[in-house]
Amino acid sequence: MGRTEIVEKLNTFLDEHAPFTEECHVVYVLVEIRKVLDRDNNRKYPILRFYCNWSVHTDKDSTQEMEAIMKDIYQGVEEQIANPALVGMNGKPKIIGFMYMEDLQSEMEKFLQEYNLPVSLVGKINWLEFIKLFVKILADQPIKNPCAGIKQFAFLPAADGCVRGRIDFTQNIGGHPYYDFGNAY
What are 163's strand-pairing partners? Answer: 183
Residue 13: closest CA among 1, 135, 111, 27? 27
89, pLDDT greater than 70: no
**Residue 63 confidence (pLDDT):** 78
Please tell me the pTM assigned to this model: 0.87
Percent of the chain residues topping a pLDDT of 70: 96
Q: How far out from the chain centre does Cα 70 lie? A: 12
Q: Which helix (H) or strand (E) holds 129?
A: helix 124-138
22-46, pLDDT tens digit by residue? 999 999 999 999 999 999 999 999 9
**Residue 5 confidence (pLDDT):** 95
| Domain residue extents for the chain | 3-184
Rounded Cα–Cα distance for residues 88 and 155 (Å) = 22
Considering the chain, what is the average pLDDT of its residues? 90
DSSP SS3 for 169: strand
